[in-house]
C-alpha cells in the first residue's frame, strides 16, 4: 500500500473511533474540545485530540493518529546522485491523558500537569524492510521492535481565545514499557495543539 494511501486509510479508521467517545460526555456542565497537533501534522503525521474537562479542574484527553518510522539505507555516490532507499513502517497511535488544571476554578485553562499512556502499533511496512534491516545492522530484525507503550507524565499550558479557540503547548516524557533491545526506554514528546471548544 502506498504511503499516502496508507495514511488516508488509517486516518479514516481512527477519526470515527475518536468521535465514539463524544456521546459519553455530553451530559452535565463540562467542556468539550477537539484539537490537532500542528507539529506532527507539519511532518505529515497527524494527531487528533479530544478532551473532556469537568468543573473540578480535571481533564481527560484521548489521542488518535498516525506516524511513520523506518530505515534509509544505501551509500552516497557522485553528488547529486544519492543511492539511498527508504523503507518506511506505518503505525496507528492511540493515547489517553489525565490532566489536572493547577489554578482553582480554572474552567480547564491555564497551567496543567498530569499522567498519560500512549501506544504505537505497527500496521504496515514497505516490502523489503527486513532485508534492508539485515543490510544495515547485520542481524535479524525484531518484528515487534517499533511497537511502543509509553507511560509517563506531562505538563502544559492552555490559552482559550474568545471562549472557543484553543492554543495548547505540552511536553510529555515517558517510559517505554515494551523494550526490545533496539528501542530506547525513555521518550519525550512535544505538542502544539490548535483546537476548538464546544
Q: Residue 167 and residue 35: Cα distance in Å, rounded?
A: 9
Kindly give the pairing relationship between strand 186-197 and strand 47-53. unpaired
Q: What is the pLDDT of residue 174?
A: 92
Q: What is the pLDDT of residue 27?
A: 47
Least confident of 16-30, 39-53, 94-108: 16-30
| Cell numbers at 43, concatenated | 511532518
Helix (H) or strand (E) holding 136: helix 129-137
Q: Residue 169 and residue 136: Cα distance in Å, rounded?
A: 37
Please state which CATH number belongs to domain 3-197.
Answer: 2.40.160.20
Cα 86 to Cα 26, 29, 82, 83, 141, distances in angstroms: 45, 50, 12, 10, 16
- Per-residue pLDDT of 73-129, as tens digits, reads 665 554 554 556 777 778 899 999 999 999 988 888 999 999 999 998 888 877 777
Q: Residue 84 and residue 126: Cα distance in Å, rounded?
A: 15
- Per-residue pLDDT of 130-177, as tens digits, reads 777 777 777 766 655 567 889 999 999 999 999 899 999 999 999 988
Amino acid at each position: 500500500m502506498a504511503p499516502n494511501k496508507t495514511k488516508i486509510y488509517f486516518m479514516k479508521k481512527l477519526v470515527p473511533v475518536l468521535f465514539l467517545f463524544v456521546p459519553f460526555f455530553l451530559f452535565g456542565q463540562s467542556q468539550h474540545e477537539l484539537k490537532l497537533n500542528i507539529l506532527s501534522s507539519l511532518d505529515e503525521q497527524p494527531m487528533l485530540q479530544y478532551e473532556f474537562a469537568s468543573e473540578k479542574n480535571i481533564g481527560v484527553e484521548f489521542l488518535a493518529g498516525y506516524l511513520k518510522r523506518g530505515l534509509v539505507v544505501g551509500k552516497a555516490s557522485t553528488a547529486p546522485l544519492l543511492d539511498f532507499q527508504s523503507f518506511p513502517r506505518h503505525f496507528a497511535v492511540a493515547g489517553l491523558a489525565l490532566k489536572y488544571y493547577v489554578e482553582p476554578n480554572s474552567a480547564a485553562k491555564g497551567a496543567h500537569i498530569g499522567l498519560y499512556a500512549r501506544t504505537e502499533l505497527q500496521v504496515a511496512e514497505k516490502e523489503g524492510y527486513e532485508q534492508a534491516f539485515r543490510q544495515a545492522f547485520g542481524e535479524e530484525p525484531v518484528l515487534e521492535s517499533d511497537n511502543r507503550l509509553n507511560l509517563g507524565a506531562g505538563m502544559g499550558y492552555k490559552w482559550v481565545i474568545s471562549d472557543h479557540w484553543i492554543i495548547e503547548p505540552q511536553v510529555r516524557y515517558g517510559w517505554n514499557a515494551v523494550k526490545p533491545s533496539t528501542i530506547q526506554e525513555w521518550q519525550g514528546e512535544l505538542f502544539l495543539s490548535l483546537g476548538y471548544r464546544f
